[in-house]
Amino acid sequence: MEAIGNYLKNIRLSRNISIDEVARSTNIPRRYIENIESNNFSDFPGEVYLKGFIKSYASFLGVDPEFAIKLYEKTVLEEKEVPLEVLIPKEEGFLTKVVDWVKSSKVFFFVVFGIVFVGLLVWFVVSLFIGRGYKVLVDNQNVIVIYKSFAIGERFRYNSGKGELVLKLLELRNSGNDIVLGVNDKIFSLGLKQEIMLDVDDDGLQDLKVRYENLAGNDAGLRISFFKAKKLQERQDIVLIDGASIPVGITIASSKLVWVGVQVDNTNEMQFYMNKDEVRSFQVRSRLVLKTSDIKALSLFCGTNQVPLKGEGVSYTVIEVSPSVKGVSLRIRDLD
């Protein structure tokens, strides 16, 4: 069976796509792409991040990410060598007999119990120190905001109430002007003085906001806002657009610099910043999902008709498009 690296590389070459184009579109550092294509998996910060890179690369090429992961696992399994001692049976010596006696006696139970106890004790002591080395800036019923300096490879764990979030600084790029950040099994790129809203578990709610504040030596200072779990509230409106047809043109306008995420129909979500007075248009057949860090900064239009947006601050809006008697019907669900 073809190795995962060869498989992805052959697809990329057949489409005349450069490695630099893959890196720009997926935010995967170039050297990691080259390592994947060479089936060199030893230079990654961890298997979780390696699998995240493979999934992102596969999705970019239009390959089923789960198939790519299965192919990776088969590649790793086939490359493993069977140890010689497994193939050649050893003669049973005195030490082997002692080990067998320990396993069959109560001594074995106490040895295992002792190892487990010591392991739990070490885990407890280490857990006391997890979370130190950061400064709490805000802590209220909606959000906790901290400031923390990260060294390359350093992890930070936080229980958000929706599950554990694990942040890890993977890489400094462009002399520290950009960072590559791992959040659970996802990879993000962030520029200095920029911030990004992250929906880690893909439930439509923002889990955290990360701002790259400064660089001190090789340590990146991050301002992290963890949004506490809350009930999803939904408001719904129906807007009729006479004379329109499917696909319908939907335009987003911004009154200031704001982060926006847009998913049109079944395409992949696009994330970007919109500047003041910037306008973007999309052709929508069935559904548009809009996420933003400040809903009041955006205006939405369908043709010359302004579409109402509700809520404050971080918001998640779903617009479902369907034909009507005189044109098009927009079912708008605002969630916050």
Tell me: the pLDDT tens digits for 233-245?
556 788 888 888 9
- Is 331 in the same domain as 238? yes
- Is 35 in the same domain as 63? yes
Tell me: the pLDDT tens digits for 129-141?
444 467 777 776 5
CA 247 to CA 321: how far, in whole Å? 9
327 Cβ contact list (under 8 Å, min separation 6): 240, 241, 242, 243, 244, 245
Q: Is residue 24 part of a domain?
A: yes
Structural domain tally of the chain?
4
Print the domain residue range for 110.
96-128
What's 267's DSSP letter? S
pLDDT, residue 81, reads 53
Q: Is residue 52 part of a domain?
A: yes
- Is 124 in the same domain as 139? no
Give the lowest-confidence range in 74-88, 144-158, 188-202, 322-336: 74-88
pLDDT, residue 18, reads 93
- Is 105 in the same domain as 74? no
pLDDT, residue 37, reads 93
Most confident of 83-97, 123-137, 285-299: 285-299
- Is 240 in the same domain as 324? yes
Q: Is residue 191 part of a domain?
A: yes
CATH code at position 36:
1.10.260.40
- Is 241 in the same domain as 172? no
Query: Do residues 315 and 291 lie in contact, with contact meaning Cβ atoms separated by under 8 Å?
Result: yes
- Is 277 in the same domain as 321? yes
pLDDT exceeds cutoff 70 at 16:
yes
Q: 105 versus 155: which is more confidently predicted?
A: 155
Q: Which whole-number Å values give the CA distances from 327 to 245, 247, 302, 305, 321, in the listed order? A: 6, 11, 12, 13, 11
- Is 316 in the same domain as 289? yes
Tell me: the pLDDT tens digits for 259-282?
899 999 988 889 999 998 999 999
pLDDT, residue 198, reads 77
Q: Is residue 73 part of a domain?
A: yes
Query: Do residues 98 and 110 lie in contact, with contact meaning Cβ atoms separated by under 8 Å?
Result: no
Q: Is the pTM of this model over 0.75?
A: no
- Is 16 in the same domain as 43? yes
* Last-in-domain residue among 227, 256, 281: 227
Confidence of residue 19 (pLDDT cuts 50, 70, 90): very high
- Is 60 in the same domain as 106? no
- Is 146 in the same domain as 218? yes
